[in-house]
Amino acid sequence: MFYPRRSYYLKPSRPNATNHLVEVDEGVKIGCRFYKKGLNCPSLLYFHGNGEIVDDYDWSAPFYNDIGINLFVADYRGYGFSEGKPNISNMVRDVYPIFKQFVKIVEEYGSRNSLFVMGRSLGSIPAIEAIYHHQSDFRGLIVERGSANNFRYFLGSSTLYDHPIWSDDSKFLNKVKLRSISKPTLIIHAEHDTLVPLEEGKELYNNSASKDKQFLMIPNAMHNDLMIVGRELYFEAIKKLVETHG
């Protein structure tokens, strides 16, 4: 399920970016990168997709900065310049120290307390976990190409499918957690996503308890080109959510 890549460029290419190491376990630190826009801007805690690392956001972070967002991207164990080996348990457990350090870094930067969280694909799991347990600290949630059932369909006919953790009422599942999350929510999905089917995004939306929620389908997009194909729609929706509630 994990495809870690290592970082060969430890220094950010963006002058407004700084690297941070977050200790998540004894002898294990996670690499994060903070792309600062301004003290009066809201800050977004971002969990990226599988196969990505924080270095990749040297390219896309300016799009978030351009709409007035301080972007804080977190890696997973074994990714980028992070230590350890990734697995689902660690990924979920690491959310808590990462969130705590994110808040501390934003406060030290001097930015006002207006926080959002976003998860892309695999990152939907830690992002929803973060807001599920820290709902009062966030102003809103953004999920891009997220799985309602935590990629349960990858199990196929495996006997693991019968484990209680995969049942429709299991609190491990993103869709079940969303039933308790009332914060403004934006769900973004690609029309022709073959890795995380469009129905997964719709299921997330339908299970959300938020009274202020939006489902944005990017026409003609697939899993890996969603932001490129629908960049204008994509960032307009994020900007609207952040400006309205930040």
Which pLDDT belongs to residue 151?
Answer: 76
The per-residue pLDDT for range 203-221, each reduced to its tens digit, is 999 999 999 999 999 999 9
Phi, psi of 13 (to 5 degrees): -85, -10
Position 113 confidence tier, pLDDT thresholds 50, 70, 90: confident
Length of the chain: 246
**pTM: predicted TM-score of the whole model, two decimal places:** 0.94
- Tell me if residue 26 falls in helix, strand or coil: coil
Residue, of 235 and 151, whose pLDDT is higher:
235
Reading across the β-sheet that carries 17-25, which strands appear in turn?
17-25, 28-35, 70-74, 43-47, 115-120, 140-144, 185-190, 213-218
Alpha helix stretches (DSSP H) within the chain: 57-66, 88-93, 95-109, 124-133, 174-178, 198-207, 226-229, 231-245
Cβ atoms within 10 Å, residue 198:
15
The CA distances from residue 90 to 28, 78, 86, 119, 243, in Å, are: 11, 11, 7, 16, 33
pLDDT over 70 at 15, yes or no: yes
The CA distances from residue 181 to 13, 83, 243, in Å, are: 36, 32, 20
Locate 61 and state its tokens.
Answer: 């972070």
Q: What is the mean pLDDT of the chain?
A: 93
- How buried is residue 215: exposed, middle or buried, by Cβ count under 10 Å (0-12/13-18/19+)? middle
